[in-house]
């Protein structure tokens, strides 16, 4: 039997997934209970009916997808105090580039990654390169350009 993929989420990320799941189930129920377009009993295809079915199918697919996530979720937690200088999921990492620029990223699972918010996936090139490293380490990332970072600080704010 194939192993299910684990989905790593912060507590906030899990709450967002739960809310989306609940909202979509209510939407599906309302859509099913509501008035459905009629199937025309002729050779003409009713585009309104097909559009309704397509929307319902997309809704069902997303609900199943969210159920899979909820069944296989792992909450990201801070490591023990003695290991909080090592980059892991949930770490907020302050990096210094060779030119002196400072960057700060939070390492999260793929579902919460949002570079514009400073959240990068543990599966991204930068995320992979940082995992397991500690304060003071130099990290070289080549994707698509070569960047050298020095880890200045690692901190955790997770419960």
Residue pLDDT, tens place only, 27-61? 999 888 877 766 666 556 677 878 888 899 999 99
pLDDT tens for residues 63-99?
Answer: 999 999 999 999 999 999 999 999 999 999 999 998 9
Residues 60 and 110 in one domain: no
**Domain boundary residue, one of 52, 75, 98:** 75
Give per-residue burial for 84-98: e unless 16+ CB within 10 Å, then b.
bbbbbbbbbbbbbee
Residues 47 and 63 in one domain: yes
Assign residue 116 the CATH number of its domain. 3.10.50.30
Give CA–CA dist 152/102, Å, rounded: 9
Question: Domain of 44?
Answer: 7-75
Identify the top-confidence range among 52-56, 128-132, 155-159: 128-132
Residues 47 and 92 in one domain: no
Q: How far is CA 9 from CA 70, 100, 111, in A?
A: 10, 32, 7
Assign residue 56 the CATH number of its domain. 1.10.287
Handedness of CA 124, 128, 134, 135 (dihedral sign): negative
């Amino acid at each position: 039997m194939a192993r299910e993929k684990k989905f790593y989420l912060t507590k906030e990320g899990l709450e967002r997934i739960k809310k989306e799941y609940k909202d979509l189930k209510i939407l599906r129920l309302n859509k099913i209970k509501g008035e459905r377009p009629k199937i025309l009993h002729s050779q003409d295809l009713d585009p309104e009916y097909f559009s309704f079915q397509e929307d319902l199918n997309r809704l069902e697919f997303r609900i199943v997808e969210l159920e899979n996530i909820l069944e296989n979720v792992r909450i990201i937690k801070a490591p023990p105090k003695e290991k909080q200088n090592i980059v892991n999921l949930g770490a907020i990492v302050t990096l210094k580039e060779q030119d002196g620029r400072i960057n700060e990223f939070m390492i999260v699972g793929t579902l919460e990654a949002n570079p514009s918010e400073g959240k990068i996936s543990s599966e991204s090139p930068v995320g992979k390169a940082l995992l397991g490293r500690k304060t003071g380490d130099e990290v070289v990332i080549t994707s698509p350009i070569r960047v050298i970072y020095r880890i200045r600080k690692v901190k955790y704010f997770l419960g």
